[in-house]
Amino acid sequence: MNCSQVRELMSALHDHELRPEAVAEVNDHLRDCAECSRLVSEFGELSNLAAGLRNVSMSAPGWATIEAALDAHSWTQSQFVRHLRSRPARIAIAAGLLVAATVGIGAYYLRSDHNDHEHVAAHFGHFLDEFDRNPDEAEQVLLANYSGQSVSLDEAARQLKYQPVAPNGLPKGFTRDRVYLLKMPCCVCVQSRYKDATGRTVVVFEHVDDQPAWFGDRPTMMVQCHGLATCLVQVDGKLAASWKRQKRVITLIGALDLEEVSRLVEFLNELYPQSAASDQALNRSDGCKCHHCICPSVVHSDLVLRNATDTRPPWQHLQ
């Protein structure tokens, strides 16, 4: 046999699917041909690598999900595509918080032509769904989808090309647990995970791109906090808040109540580089004189609700 005949049989040889007579002939050739021998051994290395693909870190949907879909209707292909595109379509109820609930962010991202927003919203929606029950598992959704990389503060700053605020620490009582970089479609996002004394997880994301899709179409509420337009969302028993200062968007997940949101917003606000004089002018730091503030000292009754038809990113609503 010559090289090209042998190569035609190479997979069959490697997979033990070759007729015995042919095996002997191929082996004869391999003894004398270094090039073909090398290819066979590379097939072996490919197989070894491929064995690593047998484990999958996610699990299949539960039967209840399948059963619900079976019950719902018989789906057509086009319905399925629509379903993929409209995820997440969950409406959480902001019970116990304040009666405010408006929908608007969802409309904003669905109008975007770029599918990335939808995927980010879907992943983030999944993350929020899981967060209260099991923050570690929730985190894996983002880590797996956005090549999560655990980094030191120096490494984070190096890759982001700016000094992030959120990984520097939260007020006394919180310890920093991990810092990750997530390669989101639009930019790199830094995720800082903190724990308090009770083991509760608080996660803070920081990035520099307008990404209004994170809360999907969950009910949100806009408030002023320390002069910053802040978007609030109830995540099961906890609160999430997102605000923008300078070019940074900070999103905080896992606060216990409004007071804590206010405290953390104030704390992170203090950490901004003080050299940015223009920013100082934009965000008055002279205490809380804001009319619609959620800070403890201010009455909560005068919250600003977003207009449901307003499709601007949330932080622009009050600015």
Partner 1 sequence: MSVRSSDKPRRFMTDAASNGADRGVNASRRTESIMRIVERCRQGDRHAQQELYEEFKDKVLRLVVRMVGQQDAPDLVQQIFLQTFRNIRQYSGRAQFGTWLYRLAINECLQLRRRIHRTTCCTLDHEPIDDSMSWSLQSENQELLGRALEGIDAGLRAIFLLREVEELSYAEIASVLQVSAGTVGSRLNRARSRLREELIELGWEP
Binding positions for partner 1, rule: CB under 8 A: 7-13, 15-20, 23, 27, 38, 41-43, 45-47, 49-54, 56-61, 63, 65-67, 69-70, 74-75, 77, 80-81, 83-84, 87, 114-116, 119, 122-123, 140, 143-145, 147-150, 185
Instruction: Find all residues with CB under 8 Å of 292, minimum gap 6, and list them.
Output: 223, 224, 302, 303, 304, 318
Residue 161: contacted member of Zn ion, partner 1, none (CB under 5 to 8 Å, by partner type): none
Among partner 1, Zn ion, none, the one that 293 touches (CB under a kind-dependent 5 to 8 A) is Zn ion
54 touches which of partner 1, Zn ion, none (CB within 5 to 8 A by kind)? Answer: partner 1
Binding site for Zn ion (CB under 5 A): 3, 33, 36, 225-226, 288, 293, 295
Nearest to 234 by CA among 47, 102, 65, 58: 102
Cβ 175 to partner 1 shortest distance, Å: 21
**By the 8 A CB rule, do 290 and 224 touch?**
yes
Cβ-count burial of 71 within 10 angstroms (0-12 exposed, 13-18 middle, 19+ buried)? Answer: exposed
Is the CB of 76 or the CB of 198 nearer to partner 1?
76
Tell me whether residue 13 or residue 239 sits nearer to partner 1 (CB atom).
13
Instruction: Name the binder of 256 from Zn ion, partner 1, none, CB < 5-8 A by kind.
Output: none
Instruction: Give the C-alpha separation, 37 to 220, whole Å.
Output: 63
What does the buried/exposed string (b/e) look like for 39-60 if buried means 16 or more CB atoms within 10 Å of the residue's CB? bbeeeeeeeeeeeeeeeeeeee
34 binds, among partner 1, Zn ion, none (CB under 5 to 8 A by kind): none
Q: How far apart are CA 27 and CA 229, in angstroms?
A: 73
